[in-house]
Amino acid sequence: MRELMHTARGRAARLVGAGVLLAGGIGAAVVLAAGPAEAAPCGTAVAAGTSCTMTGSLDLSGGTLTLTSPSALGWTATLTGLDLDLVDATTAHQSYVVDDATGSGDGWHVTVSATQFSTGGGTPLLLANTGTFSTNGSTSSITSTTAPSPDCSSGSTCTLPTNTTTYPVAITTAATSPTPVTIYDTSAGTGLGSITIGTTDPVGWWLYVPANTAPGTYTSTVTMEIISAP
């Protein structure tokens, strides 16, 4: 009897040591599988076949909101005895670039103001403050209601602006302290990235010159500004 008990205890010890568990019915043996090994932190030596884990992070800061405008505007014409609708025909003047690198989604708007067109001197010749200067998205018609078209600048995956401006925009001049007017207005959440305004439909800068205007060189100080938010 002692020998039988000793033999039984020995068999039980060998079963437990081998990882065998009797379960699910009499005599049904299930081998317990070992759990997966936990990955070690990277930065220390790990054995072949063992993985390690680390954290990847991106620290991204917002940039600035900028405007790259034409360097000048210009018109040339010869009086004909008829009223003239003059457009700036220089291609480089027919677009500008807004770069919204803030990532804020606040939107933005572009404004223009201009002093009265004048020949200068003690007794200057002047163009009228009202009805002389305007802008739209056409270089063929001063009365066009088309907006200058926007496109993502080269190398920029942008969010195109939703423009709420009505064209043409009259830019009323003044001898001093002219009032800025909005010529391009984006909705919040649009206009992100670098955007060229005036691609397929260029920016038309227009002057209306009545037939009774005297010859001369008329100049104006034109100011453009980019402002955050619509």
pLDDT band with cut points at 50, 70 and 90 for residue 33: low
Which residues touch 196 (CB under 8 Å, ≥6 apart)? 95, 96, 97, 150, 151, 152, 153
Give the pLDDT confidence score for residue 39 in this predicted structure. Answer: 81
Per-residue pLDDT of 95-153, as tens digits, reads: 999 999 999 999 999 999 999 999 999 999 999 999 999 999 999 999 999 999 999 99
68 - beta bridge partners? 97
Mean pLDDT of 196-223: 98
Which residues touch 105 (CB under 8 Å, ≥6 apart)? 188, 189, 190, 192
pLDDT band with cut points at 50, 70 and 90 for residue 36: low
- Full-prediction pTM beyond 0.75? yes
Give the pLDDT confidence score for residue 35 in this predicted structure. Answer: 57
Contact 171, 134 (CB under 8 A): yes
| Count, residues in the chain | 230
